[in-house]
Structure 1
Amino acid sequence: MEGLLLRLSALDPDAEAAVRVIAYFDALVTHGASAHAVVRATAALAECPAGWVLGDGTSVRYAPDGSPLERLGGLPPSPPASAAVSGGGTVWLERTGEPAPLDPLVLERMAVAASTVCRQGASRREPAGPADPALVELVLSAEAEPESRVRALRLLGLAPGRPLRVAAVRGVPSGPASAPLARCGAARAVVDGVTAVLIQSSAEAAYAGLSPDRGTTVGVGGAADAEHARRSWEQARVALRFAEPDTAPVVRYDALGSLAMLAELPAQTLRSRPELAVVEAYARRPGGEADLAALAAFCRSGSLRGAATRLHLHHSSVADRVARAGDALGWDLGDPADRFRAMVALTLRRLARD
């Protein structure tokens, strides 16, 4: 294909562009794109809204930036360009003004891709499940060529020119329990033993209110240009190290501030701290882990009632646990300085585990 493109570019730039359009949609079909992914990718390629009215009259519509548009009960009024889908309704481009030179070809290939989706029985499948791991890894790779990364983003239904965040998730359940996580990501896949979730545009609201399943921890990286998603991925991995299932299941890198610098310390250096050895010894006592969890919740919330809410316990039970841990470890938890020492020690303990 690359050799053909080089020869065509020397003879006819328009022919080269046409071949690229065909290859673009062929790649979508090859990777088993859903109806939503086809429409999103078309809108990004054509740089105008695109849509597909399904067999039951409902529609899928996306803007060029990858954000979903209001669903219609059929075709939009007088769409500038449309094409029939074999077995699955009609696709269209919502370009205002004069059509672009390649619009007829884009629309034709979109219809062909949509027909293939229908034959595969995927017309109603949301792109919320695991994506092709190779594509996600390519987006997050430090070595990938920019062109390859852009292509992978588009195949995942993401807009290369729009910022995204990456979430790193540990302990992702399977089946219906993973729905809260799935709603946040247009694409997710396991990378180096951790689930990476790519979050963009309309998924921002879902990520802001993310409440993971019990036992699942999430680190969310800062916003980055989609083409530099690895930066957000690295931040997400750092944030994940600060997360605890009961007291802090979701940690955002942006909220860590200078605390993120603690993650730069080698785990061996952290484990050598005498205070950590004392905390670990206490954790091995009967009920020690539960006491430390109560102490961590107390340090985070600043009150016994707040800690009780986090742990779903009565505040008197939390008070007993916090007092027991504070006395054994020599911390006066009524003193702000000792509370700070306790919080730092518990934070270093989490970081030392990775």
Structure 2
Amino acid sequence: MQDLLGRLTALDPDASETLKVVSYFDALVARSVGIESMLRGAAVLSGATVGHRDARQIIRVRADGVRIEAAEPTGEWAVRDSGADAVAWIERHGTPHANDAMILERLTLALGIIRARRAGDAESAVELVISGFASAGERASAASRLRLPTGPLRVIASPPDPEPRPQHPSAVVATRHGLTRATIIGAEADGADAWIEPDLRLGIGTAASVESLAESWEAALVAARLTTASEPVQQADDLGALLLVAQGAGGARHPDAVALANLDDRRRELLDAVVDAQSVRAAAMRLGRHHSSVQEQLAVLVEMLGYDPRTPLGQARFVAARMLLRLGD
């Protein structure tokens, strides 16, 4: 498939884009994602709101991957049957894009496959129990099927592979940031112990009851995006009030984060060292640079940023901006 895609890209860019759509939905089907995740993938791919209606519910997902309120399709949108008493649509205003028809075709085919494959299985139950749009009854029924342990739970966000140990319910979910595995563990368990293979990037959500696992999942997604090669595991609890800042940021880029993005790696490394060490002299030793050189460079950076990261308020602004920059990446 990849070889064919490379050749088509050289011969016919439009044909290669169509093949990318096919490959994309094949990957989602192979991962056995749920209906909402499938719609999220289609929405992100098409850059428009995508909806689906069956006998049970209506689901609509915006182009940024956020689920929105239910609404029936209108006559101006492209609609396609996706099964018995089920339809899917793309809410494109104006002229349809070149790949809208292909996206809708592959989406409806994929929905039919997933619906047949996942009827009542554990993965669909995991998606229901972490969904903020499932009803209380649906979540309770899903939790019963999963036989979740009593007491507080946490959701972990991790790469799709590898799978966790069999005793931990999990499912691969399509998020606006890509395919992510959601795994449910007891709140007191060590998240890393849920996998046989170590050194995974893990975002560990807040402790929650079964009824509030959607909040734990959202926190886990934020934590996962803040992991680094040097810090592969991030606990949402450790973020404190910064978790609220991260969740409220959305896709907006604050000027403080933009200012850091405009700096080169060497200057950001200097600021990181000064804030972490809380001393210019200690930062210079850590960086292996001369104290006076770091002092001079810091003075220039203070002018560029518009605040001093050595002051309490400046340090808070820097830490928040650094986090927002990482989330934007």
TM-score, normalised to structure 1, is 0.45
TM-score, normalised to structure 2, is 0.48
Max radius of gyration: which structure? 1
